Structure 1
Amino acid sequence: MKLSTCLTIIFFGAASLICNAQTTIQLSAVDNGKNPVISKYIYSHFAEHLGHGIYGGFYVGDTSKIPNTNGVRNDVIAALRKMKIPALRWPGGCFADTYHWKDGIGPKDKRPEMVNRWWGGVTEDNSFGTHEFLNMCELLGTEPYLAGNIGSGTVQELSDWVQYVSSDSKNPMSELRKQNGRDKSWKVGFWGVGNEAWGCGGNMTPEYYANEFRKYSTFMANGGDGKMFRVASGASDDDYNWTETLMKNIPHGLVEGVALHHYAIIDWGKKGPSTNFTEKQYFQIMQSAMRMEELVTKHSAIMDKYDPGKKIALVVDEWGGWYDVEPSTNPGFLYQQNTIRDAMIAGVTLNIFNNHSERVRMANLAQCVNVLQAVILTDNAKMILTPTYHVMEMYNVHQDATLIPLTVKTDDYTLGTDKLPAISASASKDKDGVVHISLVNIDPNKAKQVTVNLGDIKSTHITGRILTSQKLQDYNSFTEPDKIKPEPFKDAILKNGAINITMPAASVIVLALN
């Protein structure tokens, strides 16, 4: 019997156990004609009228003492612009199928109030509506993704919304927009036709929803002047029959994307804490997060049957970790802290999306500010960036770059008799010829030796960044906002067409080669 040898090493003051098992990653050739491009829209986000996601998160109003531009926080604008957020989904989520857009236009003192029945039963005053959102997207340099109401709305209502935001020809809706202070349209391209139609969007059957989609999509297509990308409300997790039914029953000329929702969660009844979790709970969450590989693969295979040319995108427009809310907060506000565990979820999930970019062409992390796996948390005038933010910012080098296929032979992260692949990776080549490789070691106890064989890729210079911390449970707080942040990684050795690195336990590394 051959025994493995181990030693203890120190990274950023934290001890890690490293064994002689080695991960090998083999990069394939870069073929700009055949390899898919990693759509930048994979790195999109989601903002729902939920808790303090909009009010106090993005929007404080133009009379606030917090520095703002037309009511939108300047610190949030700056942070999201640095992260390069390609598209932002709004106004929901479950909220979307109770939202009537005309309630959120015109003078604010004349806008009717409503009760947000899904998220805390709070009063929604509609002070943040269509103009506020679309103007905010312009500030962020991001494209809007509007989720239309087909649960409690009408075909006419959604058709009117399309005209209101996208039409410059003379018609009642464009004239109404001009009366409300916006002469030129915003040319909104991305549209969700309902949300979670199998659940809070109407508890529909897939057959019924497919017919509803056909009807709504037909009238939406005639409403705007710009190119429209219509996303069908897709499956929850492994409801493969839902995807099959939509692909079989919706004509391809009416749909550009089919959605999928999957959250990393332990149990819907008892989700576990966001910070004081055990290693068993960590393992369970990572097991759930890594199931995204299976879900994307199987839903894509169904889509391939009906769309072999891959013209219709798989749009994972809700994903992320979901835990119990923070103590003493409104359970309907879904406010949770964000630890190194969330960095692991983000890194692994984005690697999956990158590697499936021939079909996955948009994804939206849930959610952007103060809700679920947020990239930003706010507390009055204070703002912090979470570990998830830093992973998304580190990974933005993959946006619109050409995928480099790779194979990973990794040892496992084991807990008892259970095991998961320890190392996750994806790679791309950008328009300037720079190759980026993103690596995640989910093992919280052991550093990993990794060899990346570059194949035909020639490189003489390598740089890197790393995100890690002493414990899985570490997080950025309002008293210690920079506890976790990317640091330069200088320990990658490039020699003879290969890279050798030692990845600390629970770490994310992004390398750049040129």
Structure 2
Amino acid sequence: MKKALLILFIFTFCNQIIVAQKETTVLSIKNTANAPTINKNIYGHFAEHLGRSIYGGFFVGDTSKIPNTAGVRNDIIDALKKLKIPNLRWPGGCFADTYHWKDGIGPKENRPTIVNQWWGGTTEDNSFGTHDFLNLCELLGAEPYLSGNVGSGTVQELSDWVQYANFGGKSPMSDLRKKNGRTAPWKVKIWGIGNEAWGCGGNMKPDYYAGEYRKYATFMSDWENTGGLMRIASGASDADYNWTETLMKNIPGSMLGGVAMHHYSVIEWNKKGDAVDFTEGQYFTTMKEALKMDELITKHGAIMDKYDPEQKIALVVDEWGGWYDVEKGSNPGFLYQQNTMRDAVLAGATLNIFNNHADRVRMANLAQCVNVLQAVILTDKAKMILTPTYHVMQMYSVHQDAKLLPITINSPLYTYNGETLPALSASASKDKNGLVHISLVNIDSKKENKIEIDIKELGIKNVSGNLLASPKLQDFNSFDNPTKIQPTAFKGFEIKKGKLVITVPPFSVIMLEGK
């Protein structure tokens, strides 16, 4: 009997060791010489004339008591500088294909109004226009990304805008720019030719839009930027692979700098769910939609590879993020929503996907920057808060223009109601100073996960880290408690015999630095 009990004890003990071993995920990182660089523009942002994004967000006017520079809030400028914002997309979105840029230049008192037919039916006075936006980008040190009007505009209108913004010599448009107070051109390099042409940009068929793109692109000449303009085609919604195939087949590569793709993490379009008061089932579905980004990039990228094997054309994910029901009592056309730990892990997991596809994805734009959808900044009159998504974007800014370190990971599973998702995601890079950064996300709502990394090959001896976490998935930063969620020093790791062992808390984001 004692012998039988001893055998049972040994079996149980060994089984526990095996289970414990299985619970530690091995993450391998390769220092590969030919790996791509993570383009800083992956960390771009989006500012559409939508709700309180521009008016009441970025722009309060130069007579406001809120401290500002030429009408743009100083606190927002400072926050975005700390974020190292690489580019900013404007004026839309759907709004772009109803926007006529000449209405937003010249003396503000002479500018006509415009009804925002897409977002709330509000009347705008055009007081924030081309000069305001491009000067803001200069203040931020960010590349402007101008989205041109194809849906209701003309080839001449877009051609004139390029000349107005970029031409340094004498011409009707450069003379007009100088008359309006700006002598030197801004030399805007990144231009979108329409937005969501399959929908709000004109409900076009892909063949028709390809022809329109070729026509518009032909007349967008530029002699100011080295290498010319980066012209970006209005790309697919989600898994519309035929759209990408049609564009790549019908537009010469010499005319195409990038092809856009939009994907939002939405539970159901007709029933998006509350931004704060959500269930685990809704959280799981949101994460499922977020992780779908990897499949979308892989399949769109494979189509692009057929026509562009040297990968000269960028896949530009210029709208992404979580989309929920608007906050109770707010204008439904303003798309104002709170930002919780759900959004933090969504952002971290998505950015890991972008980093790991750095060979093809060379630009992306979180939707949106201020007061709209998955915003990094929220304002209420003079008050301003930084959201959990802001903190993730700031933590990940170390990856900008760093060399990708390819990873291999066999993630444990996050299980809910019989469905499973990979619980862990990661990306890694090495910057110009030789610092290695490893970003880790655990989407599991209840369970911590352990990761083991062999760091001998990377030459890492010392490790430090930051953690973004909170007790509840539904936690958020409010105007009453603006610092409830913010990064803290991370100590949940140890180095043993050249291996880094990390305990990743549930629904958390970690950034490790090794040197």
Structure 1 position 387, deviation (Å):
0.3
214 and 157 in structure 1: CA distance in 2 versus 1, 3 angstrom threshold: same
Which letter maps to 1:408?
I
Structure 1 position 353, deviation (Å):
0.2
Correspondence for 2:398:
397
Do 1:144 and 1:190's aligned partners in 2 also have CA atoms closer than 8 Å?
A: yes
The question of 1:506 aligning with 2:510 is answered no
Correspondence for 1:24:
26
SS in structure 2 opposite 1:333?
coil
Structure 1 position 453, deviation (Å):
2.1
Instruction: For 2:363 and 2:58, locate their aligned partners in 1 and report how far apart those are by CA, in whole Å.
Output: 22
Identical aligned residues as a percent: 65
Correspondence for 2:71:
71
Structure 1 position 143, deviation (Å):
0.8
Do 1:90 and 1:145's aligned partners in 2 also have CA atoms closer than 8 Å?
A: yes
Correspondence for 2:107:
107
User: What TM-score does the superposition give when structure 1 sets the normalisation length?
Assistant: 0.96
Correspondence for 1:186:
186
- Structure 2 gaps of 5+ residues are 1-10
Structure 1 position 346, deviation (Å):
0.2
Correspondence for 1:122:
122
Correspondence for 1:316:
317
Do 1:22 and 1:410's aligned partners in 2 also have CA atoms closer than 8 Å?
A: no
Correspondence for 2:468:
467
Do 1:29 and 1:455's aligned partners in 2 also have CA atoms closer than 8 Å?
A: no
Correspondence for 2:258:
257
The question of 1:441 aligning with 2:452 is answered no
Instruction: For 1:314 and 1:494, locate their aligned partners in 2 and report how far apart those are by CA, in whole Å.
Output: 38
Do 2:319 and 2:366's aligned partners in 1 also have CA atoms closer than 8 Å?
A: yes
Do 1:160 and 1:223's aligned partners in 2 also have CA atoms closer than 8 Å?
A: no
Structure 1 position 497, deviation (Å):
2.5
5 and 91 in structure 1: CA distance in 2 versus 1, 3 angstrom threshold: farther
Do 1:98 and 1:151's aligned partners in 2 also have CA atoms closer than 8 Å?
A: yes
CA deviation profile, 1:184-211 (whole Å, cap 9, x unmatched): 0000000000000000000000000000
Residues 368-447 of structure 1: pairs in structure 2 closer than 5 A: 368-447=369-448
Which letter maps to 2:153?
G
Instruction: For 2:274 and 2:442, locate their aligned partners in 1 and report how far apart those are by CA, in whole Å.
Output: 22
Do 1:26 and 1:455's aligned partners in 2 also have CA atoms closer than 8 Å?
A: no
Correspondence for 1:349:
350
The question of 1:196 aligning with 2:196 is answered yes
Instruction: For 2:12 and 2:126, locate their aligned partners in 1 and report how far apart those are by CA, in whole Å.
Output: 67
The question of 1:290 aligning with 2:291 is answered yes
Do 2:258 and 2:314's aligned partners in 1 also have CA atoms closer than 8 Å?
A: yes
Structure 1 position 455, deviation (Å):
5.3
Instruction: For 2:314 and 2:133, locate their aligned partners in 1 and report how far apart those are by CA, in whole Å.
Output: 25
CA deviation profile, 1:241-268 (whole Å, cap 9, x unmatched): 0000000000011110000000000000
Do 1:39 and 1:361's aligned partners in 2 also have CA atoms closer than 8 Å?
A: yes
Do 2:167 and 2:222's aligned partners in 1 also have CA atoms closer than 8 Å?
A: no
Do 2:113 and 2:124's aligned partners in 1 also have CA atoms closer than 8 Å?
A: yes
Instruction: For 1:246 and 1:225, locate their aligned partners in 2 and report how far apart those are by CA, in whole Å.
Output: 25
Residues 47-86 of structure 1: pairs in structure 2 closer than 5 A: 47-86=47-86
Correspondence for 1:172:
172
Structure 1 position 154, deviation (Å):
0.2
Q: CA RMSD in A?
A: 1.5
- Structure 1 gaps of 5+ residues are 7-17
Residues 472-487 of structure 1: pairs in structure 2 closer than 5 A: 472-487=473-488
Which letter maps to 2:514?
L
Instruction: For 1:20 and 1:497, locate their aligned partners in 2 and report how far apart those are by CA, in whole Å.
Output: 20
Structure 1 position 326, deviation (Å):
0.2
CA deviation profile, 1:425-474 (whole Å, cap 9, x unmatched): 00000000000000000001011111122352111111000000000000
485 and 222 in structure 1: CA distance in 2 versus 1, 3 angstrom threshold: closer
Structure 1 position 61, deviation (Å):
0.4
CA deviation profile, 1:35-54 (whole Å, cap 9, x unmatched): 10000000000000000000
Residues 144-183 of structure 1: pairs in structure 2 closer than 5 A: 144-183=144-183
Instruction: For 1:432 and 1:117, locate their aligned partners in 2 and report how far apart those are by CA, in whole Å.
Output: 49
2 and 380 in structure 1: CA distance in 2 versus 1, 3 angstrom threshold: farther
Structure 1 position 386, deviation (Å):
0.3
Structure 1 position 5, deviation (Å):
6.4
Do 1:28 and 1:455's aligned partners in 2 also have CA atoms closer than 8 Å?
A: no
Instruction: For 2:185 and 2:16, locate their aligned partners in 1 and report how far apart those are by CA, in whole Å.
Output: 65
Correspondence for 1:14:
none
Instruction: For 2:161 and 2:21, locate their aligned partners in 1 and report how far apart those are by CA, in whole Å.
Output: 59
Instruction: For 1:498 and 1:59, locate their aligned partners in 2 and report how far apart those are by CA, in whole Å.
Output: 50
Instruction: For 1:223 and 1:237, locate their aligned partners in 2 and report how far apart those are by CA, in whole Å.
Output: 35
173 and 462 in structure 1: CA distance in 2 versus 1, 3 angstrom threshold: same
Correspondence for 2:8:
none
User: What TM-score does the superposition give when structure 2 sets the normalisation length?
Assistant: 0.95
Structure 1 position 491, deviation (Å):
2.5
Structure 1 position 225, deviation (Å):
5.2
Higher CA-based Rg: 2
SS in structure 2 opposite 1:446?
coil
Instruction: For 1:339 and 1:5, locate their aligned partners in 2 and report how far apart those are by CA, in whole Å.
Output: 36
Instruction: For 1:159 and 1:281, locate their aligned partners in 2 and report how far apart those are by CA, in whole Å.
Output: 45
Higher mean alpha-carbon deviation, 423-432 vs 134-143, is at: 134-143
Correspondence for 1:266:
267
Instruction: For 2:64 and 2:194, locate their aligned partners in 1 and report how far apart those are by CA, in whole Å.
Output: 34
